[in-house]
Amino acid sequence: MAKKMSKRDFLRYGLFAMGASVFGIKSLRTMANNFGSGLGEMNSSPAEKLWKWSKESPYSVVTPKGIKCQICPNNCIIREGEDSICRTHVVSNNKLYTIAYGNPCAVHIDPIEKKPLLHYLPTSRCYSIATAGCTLGCLNCQNWDISQESPRKSRNMDLMPARVVEEAASNGCRSIAYTYSEPIAFYEYTHDTAKLARARGIKNILVSNGYINEKPLRDLCKVLDAANIDLKSFSEEIYSKLNGGALQPVLNTLKIMKEEGVWLEITALIVPRWTDKIEMIREMSEWLVKNGFQDTPLHFSRFFPLYKLTNLPYTPLSILQQAHDAAVKAGMHYVYVGNVPEIEGENTLCPKCKKIVVERKGFTVIQNNIRNSCCKYCGTRIPGVWS
């Protein structure tokens, strides 16, 4: 009798369980042949002690205490033989290297609505990749099996940037999404793949916690087309205790992405007893409007008890509705409620005539009443990339 697959293995290796229908058997066989053991291979230079899925990082500075990584606000100072907080960066011979390069542990083809992106290339498919590792340590993480793991310990595929682009193209994907765990943790892999994809005419999507320093962010924005950024709360204290990070760098990311012309959508997970205070949600929404994000789609997402918060209940529907109403009242034009199909919270309404311009059920678009980026009923422009 076959051994029953654990939940951990299902999440990590679900590519083979669920991917055949979207990848195609030939593509799956090709990928299976390149599926690594997770143990890695040594480079030709034994002194460096690096496996083949490594590359020197361009964002570092030498300090008296070690090599400082400059990619994210953690600003890790790493000595020889140590790992960064995100588990994806190491120091060898006094240089900073990523060990999350070309070795994704999750590869899927998704509808773009799953990211979620509801105003960007609707009904298209995106080639989604992730390596192990994350810059934060959220107690509620839904992908903790990979986000809180090291690439050394995850079971990885051998999929270098050029190969990712080829697979995306051959599977008819209009975009590549860097997602699931945290693409800032595998920044170098994300950047190099995105650069090749752009040259091929394939769009690049970042699904991220937005925890990144300005210089690497601006460099990445040059090859990004769209992003969904998690705004996990509007409290420095909650960011510290729930997520292991800080709020201000994420607010900076939102401003920089808007300035750089990246299409942006925002997700706010409503976690009971943590981020479900309507006054805080109202304050967050008012900040977004004040800073010019009133036309940026805002997704309120339902919490499911996972990882270290299994003692908490699901987010009540009443709280999600109150969050939606508070954001609309503050002046946000496109507010969605995700993970709750029964309340039809993912339809796009025209902010002027209030008619449904895009009707959705789950990740499926039922009808699209946008013509030339405008509501077909009253002619109001609906921001987004619709074709």
The mean pLDDT of the chain is: 89
Same domain, 165 and 242: yes
Same domain, 336 and 261: yes
Query: Given a cut of 80, is residue 285 above it in pLDDT?
Result: yes
Residues, the chain = 387
Same domain, 277 and 217: yes
Share of the chain above pLDDT 90, in %: 84
Least confident of 3-12, 194-203, 277-286: 3-12
- Residue 1 covered by a domain: no
pLDDT for residue 49: 55
Least confident of 29-33, 244-248, 267-271, 326-330: 29-33
Question: Residue 45's pLDDT band (boundaries 50, 70, 90)?
Answer: very low
Share of the chain above pLDDT 70, in %: 87
List of residues 6+ apart from 57 with CB closer than 8 A: 69, 71, 89, 96, 97, 98, 187, 188
- Residue 189 covered by a domain: yes
Same domain, 72 and 182: no
pLDDT in tens, 302-317: 999 999 999 999 999 9
What is the arithmetic mean of pLDDT over 210-238? 98
Positive or negative: CA dihedral 62, 67, 68, 71: positive
Same domain, 129 and 221: yes
pLDDT for residue 81: 87
- Residue 167 covered by a domain: yes
Question: Residue 19's pLDDT band (boundaries 50, 70, 90)?
Answer: very low
Same domain, 267 and 372: no
Query: Given a cut of 50, is residue 32 above it in pLDDT?
Result: no
pLDDT in tens, 332-356: 999 999 988 878 899 999 999 999 9
Domains: count for the chain = 3
Classify burial at 85, counting beta carbons within 10 Å of its beta carbon; exposed 0-12, middle 13-18, buried 19 or more: buried
Per the structure, the complete domain to which residue 202 belongs is given by 106-347
Question: Residue 50's pLDDT band (boundaries 50, 70, 90)?
Answer: confident
Same domain, 184 and 121: yes
- Residue 24 covered by a domain: no
Same domain, 195 and 304: yes
Same domain, 149 and 270: yes
Query: Given a cut of 60, is residue 127 above it in pLDDT?
Result: yes
The domain boundary, picked from 69, 98, 127, lies at 98
Beta bridge partners of 337: 300
Query: Given a cut of 60, is residue 21 above it in pLDDT?
Result: no
CATH number of the domain that residue 177 is part of: 3.20.20.70
Same domain, 342 and 354: no
- Residue 193 covered by a domain: yes
- Residue 286 covered by a domain: yes
Same domain, 295 and 373: no
- Residue 14 covered by a domain: no
d(CA 88, CA 108): 21
Same domain, 281 and 355: no
- Residue 118 covered by a domain: yes
